[in-house]
């Protein structure tokens, strides 16, 4: 145990880092609704091709995710951990099928070569001590019953190394299978360097007015979606529109606070039981002898008198405030969501900024003093006095003395503090500089020690006011809350019976905002922040398009109108319309144009179609651009496939319908070594290989998701 104790003290970083990467935290209160656990196995959160995802493990990882990120809400953590564990499950199923295992010897190698381990078990001579590591591991295993948490952390650490190694082996196998051949390298070379010259005849789709096209129906869109299902797969989601009616202070609420502040300005007669006539005079803000105590008694925010130059005062009130005199009261006045009543405590004409240097002589116990400093305060004072005399005799060498003698962090800069504003430094330091003159040298004491100061420059003096304010936050009153609630309730009631939510909102001068494709496990909504209540309502089994509900928050009321309910599968025609409709219109136009390309040769077909004729030279497959039309890969590829003198049938391109006639194919000369092109292909394939492999495995997998039974 002695060895374990020593190692634990010296390798605390190791355990700390391992602990962060592993799952040894206890879940508290993550399951909010146990009534739904009757569905399926209560210990299983999901299943991937028969591999179960245990609820307990899932909960631990959700808790750890929230602990590590902090900014994550519970549902964000649930979504992230689910994705991670499904990825792990599909990969582990592959490991099992392929017999990928990591033996004990390899685990030992992985531990020894781990960077964190090497750092934790490197001795004072900078040499990795494998014997210390062995002793450490032995102690963990021998005391696993006495210290189960440390044992669990270590086992999880080993398991994380094993999983990483399995993944590396699997991905290396996939990468090996994905390596391109020399023939593919040769193909890429010619793809980039071969060129073609060809004539083209083109009729742009824009030549056919939309009015000549028969309407694209939902049936047309559905047929297209069914022919291209991979492009239009969607996860379950909900869409809605909402109106936000803010709960904001009214003019009455603001005036009430202003009236309350107005009463505080002057002295007033108050009841006093002890007085002979039961009356006494209570001083107001204007005449009180302790303005700071008075201000904090009535202010919502702790206040302190501060000096302000005109450029630091609120812009809209600066001209007025800077002209006030000592004792003057200004206000009440409004800024943002606060109301101020301000008093001028003092005024003076002083510089706004100064440039100075100092030599700090600290002593033991002074604020931020270096622990190595042993001199006492008296000794420090004597040293500072001595330095002051030397500096005054030779002011030009101030920076040199600072570099040699100062205990401050500006020592390397010759004590230079640069420019600083009034009030930025501690009081005595500040007063010496801003009440002094350019070139003046002196000594001041602060909590940091003794400062030999030299004033290098000062801005032109100007008026400053020392101001203290009573600040009141403006909150909606009860009457305002009731009025806002009634307004929101009325609109929600009307929305339930309307078929046009937007028109109703517009008639009430409310702005409608859309929110699209919200997943079941999301809780942060665009424009609304975190609001799980809305998501839960959207996913109720009885929910249907057109449903309306009102949600009350501290900042106001949200009236939600359901606009879309999408189940997992293919997009609805309505949702796909925006992207599919232009494609179908283009196809219909293509059929009209193709019918015009009649004839027995290129020129005859072009003439009959009234096509634009042009010539493209030196066009490569890599950059398949046709002058005046843009990128047309299908058209250029066809030109490469024809023999010189041959012409094509009609081709549906990106911008129109074409026919092409190949003039010449300029094939690049073969080269001796295609390996650079093989390597280029390899890098492109490996760039997103891991992500694409996992995606393919997940698409093929049978995944059962039971999260909804545990998280609401």
Query: What pLDDT does 572 receive?
Result: 87
According to DSSP, residue 571 is labeled P
Phi, psi for residue 137 in degrees, rounded to 5 = -65, -40
Cβ atoms < 10 Å from Cβ of 342: 25
Under a CB-based contact definition with an 8 Å cutoff, are residues 366 and 447 in contact? Answer: yes
Can you tell me the distance from the alpha carbon of 3 to that of 533, in angstroms, rounded to the nearest whole number?
54
Query: What pLDDT does 40 receive?
Result: 53
* pLDDT (tens digit per residue) in 648-698: 999 999 999 999 999 999 999 999 999 999 999 999 988 888 899 999 999
Considering the domain 353-458 in this protein, what is its CATH number? 3.10.50.40
* pLDDT (tens digit per residue) in 241-275: 999 999 999 999 999 999 999 999 999 888 877 77
Sort strands 462-473 and 338-350 into parallel, antiparallel or unpaired: antiparallel
* pLDDT (tens digit per residue) in 310-331: 999 999 999 999 999 999 999 9
* pLDDT (tens digit per residue) in 589-633: 999 999 999 999 999 999 999 999 999 999 999 999 999 999 999
* pLDDT (tens digit per residue) in 510-548: 999 999 999 999 988 999 998 999 999 999 999 999 999
**Upstream peptide bond of 332 is cis (omega within 30 degrees of 0):** yes
In the chain, how long is the greatest CA-to-CA distance? 123
Radius of gyration of the chain (CA): 39
Beta sheet of 656-666, edge-to-edge order? 612-619, 195-204, 656-666, 651-652
- Residue owning tokens 């800024």: 335
What's the number of CA atoms in the CB half-sphere (13 Å) around residue 156? 19
Shortest CA distance to 378 belongs to which of 403, 361, 392, 391? 361
Q: Which tokens go with 305?
A: 């008198």
* pLDDT (tens digit per residue) in 420-469: 999 899 999 999 999 999 999 999 999 999 999 999 999 999 999 999 99
**How much of the chain exceeds pLDDT 70, in percent?**
94
Considering the domain 195-219+579-666 in this protein, what is its CATH number? 3.10.50
Looking at 3.10.50.40, 3.40.50.2000, 3.40.50.300, 3.90.105.10, the CATH number of the domain 237-248+478-567 comes to 3.10.50.40
Topology agreement, domain 195-219+579-666 and domain 353-458? yes
Question: Residue 81 burial (CB < 10 Å; 0-12/13-18/19+)?
Answer: buried
**Residues 6 or more apart in contact with residue 292 via CB below 8 angstroms:** 303, 304, 305, 468
Length of the chain: 712
Under a CB-based contact definition with an 8 Å cutoff, are residues 151 and 140 in contact? Answer: yes
Question: Residue 9 burial (CB < 10 Å; 0-12/13-18/19+)?
Answer: exposed
3-state secondary structure (DSSP) of residue 357:
strand
**How much of the chain exceeds pLDDT 90, in percent?**
78
* Domain segments of the chain as ranges: 2-176, 195-219+579-666, 237-248+478-567, 251-349, 353-458
Shortest CA distance to 279 belongs to which of 287, 268, 266? 268
């Amino acid at each position: 145990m002695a060895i374990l104790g020593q190692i634990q003290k010296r390798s605390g970083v190791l355990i700390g880092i391992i602990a962060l990467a592993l799952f040894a935290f206890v879940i508290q209160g993550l399951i909010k609704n146990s009534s739904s656990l009757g569905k399926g196995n209560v210990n299983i959160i999901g299943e991937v091709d028969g591999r179960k995802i245990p609820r307990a493990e899932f909960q631990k990882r959700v808790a750890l995710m929230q602990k590590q990120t902090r900014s994550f809400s519970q549902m964000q953590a649930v979504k992230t951990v689910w994705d991670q564990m499904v990825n792990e499950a599909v990969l582990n199923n592959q490991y099992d099928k392929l017999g990928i295992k990591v033996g004990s010897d390899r685990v030992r190698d992985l531990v020894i070569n781990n960077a964190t381990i090497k750092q934790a078990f490197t001795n004072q001579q900078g040499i990795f001590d494998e014997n210390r590591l062995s002793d450490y591991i032995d102690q963990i295993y021998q005391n696993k019953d006495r210290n189960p948490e440390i044992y669990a952390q270590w086992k999880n650490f080993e398991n994380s190394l094993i999983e990483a190694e399995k993944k590396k082996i699997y991905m290396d196998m996939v990468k090996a299978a994905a390596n391109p051949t020399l023939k593919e390298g040769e193909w890429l070379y010619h793809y980039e360097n071969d060129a073609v010259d060809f004539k083209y005849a083109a009729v742009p789709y824009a030549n056919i007015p939309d009015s000549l096209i028969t309407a694209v129906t939902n049936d047309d869109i559905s047929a297209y979606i069914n022919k291209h299902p991979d492009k239009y797969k969607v996860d379950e989601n909900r869409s809605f529109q909402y109106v936000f009616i803010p709960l904001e202070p009214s003019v009455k609420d603001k005036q009430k606070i202003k009236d309350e502040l107005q009463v505080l300005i002057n002295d007033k007669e108050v009841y006093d039981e002890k007085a002979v006539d039961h009356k006494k005079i209570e001083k107001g803000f204007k005449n009180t002898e302790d303005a700071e105590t008075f201000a904090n008694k009535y202010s919502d925010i702790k206040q302190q008198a501060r000096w302000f130059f005109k450029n630091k005062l609120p812009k809209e009130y600066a001209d007025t405030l800077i002209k006030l005199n000592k004792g003057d009261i200004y206000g009440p006045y409004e800024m943002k969501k606060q109301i101020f009543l301000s008093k001028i405590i003092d005024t003076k004409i002083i510089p706004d900024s100064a440039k100075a240097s100092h030599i700090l002589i600290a002593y033991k116990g002074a604020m931020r003093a270096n622990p190595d400093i042993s001199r006492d305060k008296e000794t420090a004072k004597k040293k500072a006095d001595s330095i002051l005399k030397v500096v005054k005799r030779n002011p030009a060498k101030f920076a040199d003395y600072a570099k040699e003698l100062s205990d401050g962090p500006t020592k390397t800069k010759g004590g230079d503090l640069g420019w600083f504003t009034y009030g930025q430094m501690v009081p005595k330091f500040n007063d010496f500089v801003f009440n002094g003159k350019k070139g003046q040298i002196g000594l001041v004491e602060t909590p940091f020690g003794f400062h030999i100061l030299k004033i290098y420059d000062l801005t032109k003096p100007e008026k400053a006011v020392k101001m203290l304010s009573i600040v009141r936050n403006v909150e909606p009153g009860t009457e305002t809350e009731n009025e806002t609630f009634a307004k929101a309730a009325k609109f929600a009631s009307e929305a339930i019976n309307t078929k046009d939510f937007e028109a109703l909102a517009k008639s009430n001068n409310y702005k409608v905002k859309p929110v699209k494709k919200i997943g079941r496990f999301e809780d942060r909504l665009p424009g609304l922040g975190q609001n799980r209540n809305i998501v839960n309502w959207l996913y109720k089994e009885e929910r249907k398009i057109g449903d309306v509900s009102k949600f009350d928050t501290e900042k106001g009321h949200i009236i939600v109108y359901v606009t879309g309910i999408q189940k997992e599968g293919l997009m609805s025609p309505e949702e796909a319309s925006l992207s599919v409709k232009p494609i179908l219109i283009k196809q219909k136009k293509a059929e009209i144009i193709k019918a015009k390309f009649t004839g027995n040769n290129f020129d005859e077909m072009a003439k009959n179609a009234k096509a634009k004729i042009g010539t493209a030279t030196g066009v490569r497959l890599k950059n398949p651009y046709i002058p005046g039309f843009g990128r047309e890969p299908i058209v250029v590829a066809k030109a490469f496939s024809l023999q010189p003198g041959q012409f094509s049938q009609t081709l549906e391109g990106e911008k129109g319908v074409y026919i092409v006639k190949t003039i010449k194919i300029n094939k690049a000369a073969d080269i001796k070594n295609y390996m650079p092109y093989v390597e280029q292909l390899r890098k492109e394939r490996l760039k997103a290989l891991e992500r694409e492999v996992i995606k393919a495995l997940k698409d093929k997998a049978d995944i059962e998701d039971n999260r909804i039974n545990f998280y609401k």
